[in-house]
Amino acid sequence: MDITLSLNAVLDRIDYSTFEGELGVRSITGVASLGDAQRGDATFVASAKYLEELAKTEASLVVLSKDLEATPKSGQLFLRVENPSIEIAKLCELISQKMWEKPQPGIHRLANIDPSAEIDASACIDAFVTVAAGARIGPGCVIASGCFIGPACELGADCQLSANVTLERDTVVGKRVRIHAGTVLGSDGFGYEFQDGRHRKVPQVGSVLVGDDVEIGANTTVDRGRFGPTRIGEGSKIDNLVQIGHNVVVGKHNILCAQVGIAGSTKLGDYVVMGGRAGASGHIEIGPGAQLAGQCVAYSDLEGGAKYGGAPAIPLVAYQRITVITRRLPELFKRLTQLEKQLLRD
């Protein structure tokens, strides 16, 4: 990490209530965990269980909770804040802006742009990007090398597409959307009908609609709808290696962790959270605010505002109790065998 942030820049970004100690370096040169931090680094502490590590850290700047009892070492500055995780994220945003500075607007000479495509003059189109007929790219967009923007696709303002992203035809993306490397939006939905001993393909003639402020991780796939669109709601955050089937509706501000799989025509309400490798079968509804633990699978409708675990999904508390009992089965089976033998002797 090769960055330099002045103390004033840091203090302007972080919402601190008080500070203690004195910064022993001229500038902040990185962000690191407590254990890895060196002189010049910033770090954070949100819980008392890390106080022992805090006492050993070499970090020059520590962002920590107001109520933690700790004293800075010589050359160490403490910033007391309400939420250390949020405040260190603000600092990371500042670092990110320096590490990945926005490139100058323009279209690289090695890009392949159809004459009918509309590209705002403030957008940046890198080498080996293809923009097909009728596509529209809004102001401030950054399209990295190797991306394919299909016919009649649209990108709103300030979108970022990392290398080798594919938008198949008719995909519409809102404003401030970030899509990471290798992701495909608008690939065919998995639709077949069995006829005369063969799987007959059902053409997928729908589209994909992505709302504002969505982020989609690397190598994720969102299938186009069979007829209408597959929808990703405003503010939703989708991890790497997620599969979203045709005509799925993902509500606003969902969190879908790595390897989540959602089968076709499933509807997720707003603020749904699905842990890693969780899944949902097709044509069901998951209510607003529902939370599915890792590897939980919904095979039928789930009410909103509740936590679930297991496959099939059941209330999380019940699943945890079943898990505890399951671990004791060998012991219980052994005891049952002993009781049977005792009864036979008697």
Q: Quick one: pLDDT at residue 1?
A: 60
d(CA 226, CA 263): 13
Q: Quick one: pLDDT at residue 102?
A: 82
Alpha helices in 74-232 (DSSP H): 84-99
- One digit per residue, the tens of pLDDT, for the chain of length 346 reads 678 999 999 999 999 999 999 999 999 999 999 999 999 999 999 999 999 999 999 999 999 999 999 999 999 999 999 999 999 999 999 988 888 888 899 999 999 999 999 999 999 999 999 999 999 999 999 999 999 999 999 999 999 999 999 999 999 999 999 999 999 999 999 999 999 999 999 999 999 999 999 999 999 999 999 999 999 999 999 999 999 999 999 999 999 999 999 999 999 999 999 999 999 999 999 999 999 999 999 999 999 999 999 999 999 999 999 999 999 999 999 999 999 988 888 7
The CB density around residue 134, as the number of other CB atoms within 10 Å, is 16
Each domain of the chain, given as residue ranges in start order, spans 5-99, 106-319
Element holding 216 (H helix, E strand): strand 215-216
Backbone angles phi, psi at 237, to 5 degrees: -120, 120
Q: Summarize pLDDT for 216-266 with one digit per residue, the tens.
A: 999 999 999 999 999 999 999 999 999 999 999 999 999 999 999 999 999
Residue 55: HSE in the Cβ half-sphere, 13 Å Cα cutoff = 7
Residue written as token pair 């919904």: 298
> What string of DSSP letters covers 222-269?
EEPPSSSEEEE-TT-EE-TT-EE-TT-EE-TT-EE-TT-EE-TT-EE-
Q: Which of 16, 180, 176, 178 is nearest to 91 (CA)?
A: 16
d(CA 317, CA 319): 5
- Decide if domain 5-99 falls under CATH 1.20.58.1690: no
Q: Quick one: pLDDT at residue 345?
A: 84
> Domain 106-319, what fold?
UDP N-Acetylglucosamine Acyltransferase; domain 1 (2.160.10)
Q: Summarize pLDDT for 71-108 with one digit per residue, the tens.
A: 999 999 999 999 999 999 999 999 888 888 888 999 99
d(CA 129, CA 153): 14
Backbone angles phi, psi at 28, to 5 degrees: -90, 130
Alpha helices in the chain (DSSP H): 7-13, 51-56, 84-99, 316-327, 329-345
Do residues 281 and 298 touch, judged by C-beta distance below 8 A? yes
Do residues 308 and 291 touch, judged by C-beta distance below 8 A? yes
Do residues 68 and 48 touch, judged by C-beta distance below 8 A? yes
Catalytic residues: 246
d(CA 110, CA 118): 17
Model pTM greater than 0.85?
A: yes
